[in-house]
Each structure stands twice: as structure tokens, then as C-alpha cells.
Structure 1
Amino acid sequence: MFIYILMLVILQRIIELFVARRNERWMKSKGAIEAGEGHYPFMVAMHIAFFVSLIAEVVFFNRSVSAIWIVWLSLFVIAQVFRVWCLLSLGKYWNTKIIVLPNAEVVRKGPYKWLRHPNYIIVATELIVLPLLFNAYFTALLFTCLNIWMMTVRIPAEEKALAEVTNYREQFLIE
């Protein structure tokens, strides 16, 4: 079960990187600018390290599937449905980088109608749920903490970039 889920998630991430690259090219051809370049390599490294840590903890410590695996797997599947909803809602504006198109209207549909950063909630959920599915408690705790730290950098950088060149302030009533 571990290998199949891991392969599926890694394949999903690889596909998302291709989609992000395509969207980045399209946005930059329209005059989009990138922000937060300084933290992006650290974020990528964190996500790669997450998979390395998960594999290492499960393999080297012989972790088995959780007794409540159905709960964790259900939460993970729900998170994947919401992930796809986020990607489809943002369409060509979705990216793993902070890329903003000057004078663009901020997307306010799908989960973005109610939340400013639903995809980050989904990522946080995945970083907890996937390791707990396999009793990888160290990975769950470490990468939850690292992700919290990363979001204290990422979200302000993204909000600043959006507020500077789009209608973000008006859409979210930010002073």
C-alpha cells in the first residue's frame, strides 16, 4: 500500500510541476512578475526532504499501516479532491511559484470564494495525514513544523505581491 500511494503522490507532484511550468510561461508572456524567489528553493527542498523522510522512516523503522488507516486515507483522498478543485479554480493562474499578473482580477471562485489560501491548508493536511497513514510520527511532526515556518514566509510574500499589482486588497478588504 505504501509504495502505491507514494508512487501516486510523486506522479501527481511531477504532473503539477509540468502544469506549473506551462502556466508560468503563459503568465510571463502576458507580463506577469515573480515574487518570493528567495524562499522558493527552500520550499522545494522541504517538499523533497518530506518524501525522503517519509520513505526513510517507513522503511528503516519498519512502520506499518495505521490501525485507523481508513480515516487517514479518507482525509488524504478528500484533500486530493480539494487540491484539484483549487487547481481548476485558479486555472492558468495556478503555480507553485508566486507569479502575479499586473492588473489581473483576483480569482474568487471555487474554494477561493471563501478562503484566501485553501491550497496551503491542503498541503498542511497532506504533510500530516500521509505520514500518519503509515505511523511515521517523526515525519508528520517535523514537516508540519517546517511547513508552518515556510508559510510564515510564503503567505506574506504572496499577499504583498498580489496587493501591489492586482485588486487583492479590494477583494479581501485589506487595509
Structure 2
Amino acid sequence: MVMSDSARAYLLFLGFILLERLFELVLSTRNARRALAQGGREVGQGHYRVMTVLHTAFLLACAGEVLVFQRAFPGVLGRAALVGAVAAQALRYWAISTLGERWNTRIVFIPGARPVTSGPYRLVRHPNYVAVILEMACIPLIHGGYLTALLFSVANAVLLTVRIRAEEAALGAEYRQAFQTRPRFIPGSAHGPR
């Protein structure tokens, strides 16, 4: 199989995303340990395993669809998707830096800790999930991975429904009060059910 230059570049980009995820897992593990040592409690372990599998399969599917179906670079759509994917990374790291040691990929909450309402949390309740939603749509579309974008966006929507309910319940009344007027995902939109 002959691989195009654009496919090689895309696979390198996916490699960068993989390295980024590995760094995030190290950071997350460290932060979760610290939170647990401070009396934190973890919830949602069952769906966390599903999330790990989904995110791993996502990167494999991104590469697989391009290689198996020999997808061509889609031009303007690919460039727009790249901008969206880079914006998602910027939003993710804004959320991570705002939460500091409280950020991790699990749902670990410290009873009595005040909700973080600065940074991107001034605008929406779940900026990190907004970044994930953008990634699931944009990363595959950079190189024509239409099936991956569709299938994983739907699967991620189902997973986020479960995860957000568990997370918001764990964070409790003070969180609900602090974020009652903020939308979950889109600044300026209705905040939806509580």
C-alpha cells in the first residue's frame, strides 16, 4: 500500500495526540492520588473503564479508517477540522490549567472543596467535555474519517450523558448553586436541566 504525504502527516498528528494523552494520564494519576490523599472520594468507576476503551479505540479508528479506506485529504474541510482540533486542545489545556491539581480524568471530588468558577468555567460548566466533543468530530475529519467522526461522536454523547450526571451529582449542592445559570456546553445557551 502506498501512503500519501497527507496520510503520513495525519498519522504523525495522531501520534502527537497519543503522546499528549499519555502525558495527561500521568498528570491525572498524580492529581487523583493527591485528591484521594486529601480525603477525596471517587465515583463513576464503571463508566470510566468504558471511557478509556472508547478513547483508545477512537485513535485507532482515526488511523484505521484513513488507511483501510485510503481516504484522501478533504481540502477545506480538512483544514477547518484541523483548526477545530487545535482549538479543542487549547480549550482542554485552559481547563486543565484552571483546575490545576484538581484536574484528573476520573471523578474524584474532595468534600467541602469550593467549585472552580474561573477560566473557561466562567462560560460553561464542562469546558473539558466541550474539547472532547470537538475532538471526536474534528480529528477524524482532518483526513476524511467521516465514519469515525459519526460513530464516535454518537458513542461519546451517550457516555457523556452518564458521566455528567454522575459528576454533577457527586459535586453536590454547592456546585449546582454556583453553576445554575451556566450552560453545560455552549456559552450563552440555555443551561438545560439541572
TM-score range, shorter chain: over 0.9
Match of 1:25 among 13, 27, 33: 33
Match of 2:130 among 98, 121, 131: 121
Q: Per-residue deviation at 1:169?
A: 2.3
Per the alignment, residue 189 of structure 2 pairs with none
Query: Is 1:76 aligned with 2:88?
Result: no
Per the alignment, residue 135 of structure 1 pairs with 144
- Mapped to 1, the partners of 2:124 and 2:100 lie a distance apart of 17
Structure number with the bigger relative contact order (C-alpha 8 A, sep ≥ 6) is 1
- Mapped to 1, the partners of 2:62 and 2:47 lie a distance apart of 23
Q: Which amino acid aligns with 2:108?
A: I
Runs of 4+ deviating beyond 3 Å: none
Per the alignment, residue 171 of structure 1 pairs with 178
5+ unaligned residues in a row in structure 2: which ranges?
1-8, 182-193
- Mapped to 2, the partners of 1:161 and 1:128 lie a distance apart of 28
- Mapped to 1, the partners of 2:74 and 2:20 lie a distance apart of 23
Q: Per-residue deviation at 1:80?
A: 1.1
The alignment's C-alpha RMSD in Å is: 1.3
5+ unaligned residues in a row in structure 1: which ranges?
none
Query: How many aligned residue pairs are there?
Result: 173
Per the alignment, residue 10 of structure 1 pairs with 18
Query: Is 1:53 aligned with 2:61?
Result: yes
Match of 2:100 among 59, 71, 91: 91
Per the alignment, residue 154 of structure 2 pairs with 145
Q: Which amino acid aligns with 2:60?
A: V
Q: Which amino acid aligns with 2:14?
A: L
Instruction: Render the CA deviation track for 1:80-121: whole Å, top value 9, x for unaligned.
Output: 111110100111111110000000001011001121111101
**Kept after mapping to 1: 8 A contact 2:81/2:139:** yes
Instruction: Render the CA deviation track for 1:23-71: whole Å, top value 9, x for unaligned.
Output: 0111011000001111110010011111121111111111122211221
Q: Percent identity?
A: 39
Match of 2:116 among 93, 107, 123: 107
Question: TM-score, normalization: structure 2?
Answer: 0.86
Per the alignment, residue 42 of structure 1 pairs with 50
Per the alignment, residue 169 of structure 2 pairs with 160
Instruction: Render the CA deviation track for 1:95-150: whole Å, top value 9, x for unaligned.
Output: 11000000000101100112111110110100000101110111000000000100
Q: Which amino acid aligns with 1:156?
A: R
- Mapped to 2, the partners of 1:173 and 1:52 lie a distance apart of 38
